[in-house]
Structure 1
C-alpha cells in the first residue's frame, strides 16, 4: 500500500537543516540514486532550494529505469519512454557534509510520482520493503559492503604496481589514503579497515555494519568520497569488476548477519559453527536463489570476467567456514557480535539497494520454508567433481532471474520488468565484444 510522503514535515526539517548547513559554508546539496545498470546518478540544488526539494522533490525522468551502462536507453513493458516525470526526494536523515568537496552536502534520494506516492520502480524503497518484511517477523539484519577500487594515474595506468597487500604501495600513497580515511571519518562513517589489495593499484575499505538500507546508502557515500579525494590528488578511480583483463578484479562483497532480540544468530547456536536454525534457513534461502540473485548482485557483462575460479571471487554455489572460493563464506569473527556471512560473488556494478533487497527476500523465503542448509564445502570447490559453478555469463544469470517467481514477486512487476529489460539489453549490447573490449568499455563507467 502506498502513502503520500509528509511534505510539510520534510519542508520544516529541510528549512532547519539548510540554516545549519549555511552556517558551515555549504552552498549546494547533491542527491544521489542508482539506476538499474548500477550507475550512480545525481542531481543537485543550491542550498536555498533544499526546502522546496524536500517538499516537492526534484524532477528525474522515469526513463532512467532503463538506462544502460553506455547511457543508451532500452524499453520495458509499462514504460513511458520520454513521457512523464518522477520526483527525487532527499532523505534528510542521511544529509552529510562532503569532506572532500568543500561547500557541498549529499543525501540519498527516494523516487516518488508527481502525485506524491512512492514510485514502484524505486530501488531504495524495494530494499526498505524487504527490511520491513523481516522486521515483522521480529528479525533485523546488519549489513556492510566492502568497497574495492583501482586508483590510476591520469593516463589510466595503475598508480602503483605492487606487491599485493604490500607496504610499498601503502607508503607510496600514504597521504592519499590518509585523506580518504579523514574524509570518511569526518562524514561520520566508522572505518574498520583500509589497506592495499591484490591487483595493481587496488585498495579496499570496509566500514561498520548498519541496517540494509543504511548500508547501501553508505556504499554510495564511500564511493563518492573516494572518487572526490582521488580527483584532488590528480588520480582516477575504477570500481569496475575487471580493470585489467585476466587479473583479479574489484568485488563488492556483501557481509550480513541476522539478529533477533539483540542476539546475533550466527554464533552460539546448536547448528554447524554455532549457527542458529533461523540463520541456517536464511543462508539456505540465499544459496537456493543465488543463480538468480546474480542478476542483481553481479549484473554486468564484465562481472563474469571476474567471477572465475582461483580468484577468490566465489564462483561456486556452496558455503564454508572461511572458504574464500565459496560464494557464501561464513566468518565466525574474533569477538561477540562479529559473526557474519559474506557473499563474495557480488561486485560494485550492482545497485546496492537491489542486491540487498533481493538477498533479504531470498533469505526470508528460506526462513518461511525452513530450507535445510546443504553440507559444508571444506576444501577448494574446484577440486570437487560435485561442485556447482554459478552462472558464467550475464545471459545465464538473466535466464535464472527470469525463472525466479520469488524475485518477480518481491520486486513487483514494474521494477522486475525494468531490471530484466536492462539485463537483456546489456547482454545483447556486448554479445559480439571480446573480453578485452568489454573491459575497455566499462573500465571508467563504474
Structure 2
C-alpha cells in the first residue's frame, strides 16, 4: 500500500466524520472473524477513524491460532507472540449500528506492517476466489441463512425464551416486540431482509438476506449476527448460534445460497446451464473437505446427522431438504450442511474454489436424489467427525491450493487443537462448552 493509497483512504474517512457524528456515533468497531469462527474486534474513537483507515489498527497475528475458547494453539505458521498486523476498515461498509447507540461498524482487511495483504486474511481470500471466477467470466451472488435460538438471560443453561410451537405464529407473538425491534434494526442498517420466521427448535428463529457479491454476503452475515446479539441482549435475553444448543435437540444451521451469473443471466435459472452444473458438481465433489471449513467445530458433528434436515449425505436434489446440496429450482444452490460456527469468509472462499474447479473440469452431477438419502443404498455420508473432515481437507488439492500452504496448515492445526480439547468430552459437555461461544 503506497503513500497515495494511504492518503486516499484518510481523505475518504475524513469525509465520513461529520455524517457519522450527526448520527451520534462516538466509536467504530472494526471486526474480523478468526479461523474458529469468532468475531474479534478492535475499536477506535470516531476522530481516529482517518488514521485507522490510512495506517490500520495494530493486532497480533496470533489470532490466527485462537480456538473458540481463546486458547492459542502452537501452530506451524501461527500462534507465536512475535509480529504485528494492521486492520484496515472497509469504509464502503461502514454501518451505523441501530442496536448499539453510539456505535458504527466496519469489517477489516488484514495487512502486514509494510501494507501487503496478510496471507491468512479470511476476507482477502474470499475476494481472491471471487476474482478468480470473474477472470473466467462469471459473477457469483451469495447469501446466508442465519439461525439462532433465543434463551432466557442470566444462566449458562439454555431455557428457551418461548415454548410456542415450531414455525408457529404464537412464538412470534410471544416475542413480538423483540422480533419487530430486530427487523427494524436490520432494515435501518440497510440489510435487505428477504424473510424472517420461527424455526423448528425451541426458541429458534431464522432470517434470510438478499443475495449480493460473495465478500459483502459474508460481511452481511457478520452484521446480521452481531445485530441479533445486540437486540437480544437489550431485551434481557440471550442468543446462541451454536450448531448444537442442547445435546438432544436440533441445532442451528448456516446455509449458504449461491448463484452463478454470466452476462447478467442466472445460469441456475430454468434449465441448468452446463457451467452451473459444473459449479454444483464441483461443490458436491469437494464437500468432505469443505466440511472442515463449513462445519469446523466438534459440535458441528453433533448436528450433522441423518434425517434432521442437516444435509448429512454428499448428495443433491431438487428441493430436497435432506440432501447436502438443495437445488432451489429457478434460483440458486443451497448448501445445507454448513453451520454458524464457521467463518463466513472462509465458507465463501472454499465454496467458490470448489465450484470453479468443477467448471474448469466440466464436471457433471450424478442423478438427483428424490428421497431422504438415508434410504439410498450407497449414499456417501459426509464426515462424521471433525478429524475426518480435516483429513479430507488436507487430502483435497483444490482446497489446499486455494488456501495456500500456510493458511491450509493453520486451518488444520486449529481444528486439531479443538479436537484435542474435547477428546474426552461427552456430547453434553461439548454442547455446554460451546453453547454461547458463537
Aligning the two structures, in what range does the TM-score lie when normalised by the shorter sequence?
A: over 0.9
SS at match of 1:117: coil
Cα pair 1:331 1:342 within 8 Å, conserved: yes
Deviation readout 1:191-215 (Å, 9 max, x if unpaired): 1111100000100000111000000
Identify unmatched segments of 5+ residues in structure 2: none
Number of the residue aligned with 1:305: 302
Number of the residue aligned with 1:336: none
Counterpart CA distance in 2 for 1:113 and 1:285 is 33
Deviation at 1:128, TM superposition (A): 0.2
Number of the residue aligned with 1:350: 342
1:129-140 equivalences in 2 (<5 Å): 129-140=128-139
SS at match of 2:71: coil
Number of the residue aligned with 1:259: 261
Counterpart CA distance in 2 for 1:322 and 1:301 is 28
Number of the residue aligned with 1:178: 180
- CA gap of 1:300–1:327, structure 2 versus 1, over 3 A, is same
Residue 85 (str. 1) matches residue 84 (str. 2) = yes
1:28-427 equivalences in 2 (<5 Å): 28-79=27-78, 81-154=80-153, 155=155, 156-268=158-270, 274-333=271-330, 339-427=331-419
Cα pair 2:283 2:354 within 8 Å, conserved: yes
TM-score by length of 1: 0.96
Cα pair 1:283 1:363 within 8 Å, conserved: yes
Cα pair 1:329 1:343 within 8 Å, conserved: yes
Identify unmatched segments of 5+ residues in structure 1: 269-273, 334-338
Deviation at 1:25, TM superposition (A): 1.1
Runs (4+) off by over 3 Å: 2-5
Cα pair 2:64 2:79 within 8 Å, conserved: no
Deviation readout 1:114-161 (Å, 9 max, x if unpaired): 111100010000000000000001101110000000011113411012
Counterpart CA distance in 1 for 2:111 and 2:18 is 26
Number of corresponding residues: 435
SS at match of 2:337: coil
Deviation at 1:168, TM superposition (A): 1.2
How big is the alpha-carbon RMSD for the aligned residues of Structure 1 and Structure 2? 1.2
Counterpart CA distance in 1 for 2:79 and 2:68 is 20
SS at match of 2:236: coil
Moved more, 58-67 or 151-160: 151-160
TM-score by length of 2: 0.98
- CA gap of 1:5–1:93, structure 2 versus 1, over 3 A, is farther
Cα pair 1:257 1:264 within 8 Å, conserved: yes
Counterpart CA distance in 2 for 1:283 and 1:246 is 32
- CA gap of 1:238–1:80, structure 2 versus 1, over 3 A, is closer
Deviation at 1:5, TM superposition (A): 8.7
Cα pair 1:26 1:102 within 8 Å, conserved: yes
Counterpart CA distance in 1 for 2:123 and 2:359 is 23
Number of the residue aligned with 1:432: 424
Deviation readout 1:214-246 (Å, 9 max, x if unpaired): 000000000010100011100101000011112
Counterpart CA distance in 2 for 1:228 and 1:372 is 44
Counterpart CA distance in 2 for 1:431 and 1:3 is 47
Deviation readout 1:18-52 (Å, 9 max, x if unpaired): 12111221100001110000101111110010001
Deviation at 1:79, TM superposition (A): 3.0
Cα pair 1:3 1:118 within 8 Å, conserved: no
- CA gap of 1:377–1:71, structure 2 versus 1, over 3 A, is same
Deviation at 1:82, TM superposition (A): 0.4
Deviation at 1:76, TM superposition (A): 2.1
Deviation readout 1:411-434 (Å, 9 max, x if unpaired): 112211111110111111111100
